[in-house]
Amino acid sequence: MNVLEARGIRKRYGGLAALADVDLTVAKGQFVAVIGPNGAGKSTLLNVLTGLVMPDEGQVLLDGQIITRMATNRRIRAGLGRTFQHGRVFARLNVLENVMTGAAIRSDLNEAGLRDAAMEIIEQMGLADVACEAIDSLSYGRRRMVELARAVACRPHVLLLDEPAAGLNSGEVDQLVDRLTALRATHGLAIVLIEHNMGMVMRLAERIFVLNFGCRIAEGTPAEVQADPTVLAAYLGEGYVHAGV
């Protein structure tokens, strides 16, 4: 069963076709990556899926329900989670309070219950030692992890990640890979990842969609995408090899 679908999505900004008849399907518990050069339409697609941008044509479905015109907050309550390319956390709140805001979105728990729910996620994300720390005191990598923890606390069925590895060092990327792998195993999440770190993409994704100039130019397993001449020419580069696949 598909938990998330985009059907025939089109979006124009004046004379620019940001998305041109794009289809995307994500099955329950599946890890899907969307890759492509800068300006290919990847973030626009995520914004359409989350309701921050309305498509000119096409439909978005979550768990079989059409949500194309649904407000973003209602999509979150329906089971869609999201992180952003440049990281968005509440700077005036500490780590625990940030994650509690996520837990509150889909729950009628009292404050104590929200704290317990948030702490469970915080511990899973390896943030227990900084739960009461101010956001500004954290490293950039840990702030990104707090944003991810807050999104998971919303209890999504589908988690959309917009370049979560941007700005992270290699050790932090390895930690992120481990956390995402554990989240899928623990929560059964479907995950849609936009990412330029191809090592991370090839380690995690079961299926890869490739966009270029707003069009889907390829779709397949990591091995299939790496062998596709169109993808090599448009994005990965001739002779691209990833040792993990």
**Bridge partners of 160?**
82, 192
From the CB of residue 193, how many other CB atoms can be counted at a distance below 10 Å? 23
What pLDDT is attached to residue 237? Answer: 80
Pairwise CA distance, residues 93 & 157, whole Å:
26
What pLDDT is attached to residue 17? Answer: 93
Mean of pLDDT values over 204-233: 94
What pLDDT is attached to residue 238? Answer: 67
- DSSP letter string, 67-102: -TT--HHHHHHHTEEE--TT----TTSBHHHHHHHH
pTM: 0.91
What is the per-residue burial (b if ≥16 Cβ within 10 Å, else e) of 207-227? bbbbbbbbebbbbeebeebbe
Strands (E), 158-231: 158-162, 190-194, 207-212, 215-220
Q: What is the mean pLDDT of the chain?
A: 92
| 61, 38 contact by CB (below 8 A) | no
Could you report the per-residue pLDDT of 16-58, keeping only the tens digit for each? 999 999 999 999 999 999 999 999 999 999 999 999 999 999 9
SS3 category, 160: strand
- pLDDT over 90 for what percent of the chain? 81
What residue segments make up the domains of the chain, in order of their start? 2-79+156-236, 93-155
Query: CATH code for 2-79+156-236?
Result: 3.40.50.300
Place 209 in a pLDDT band, splitting at 50, 70 and 90: very high
Residue 94: CB partners within 8 Å, gap ≥ 6? 131, 132, 133, 134, 135
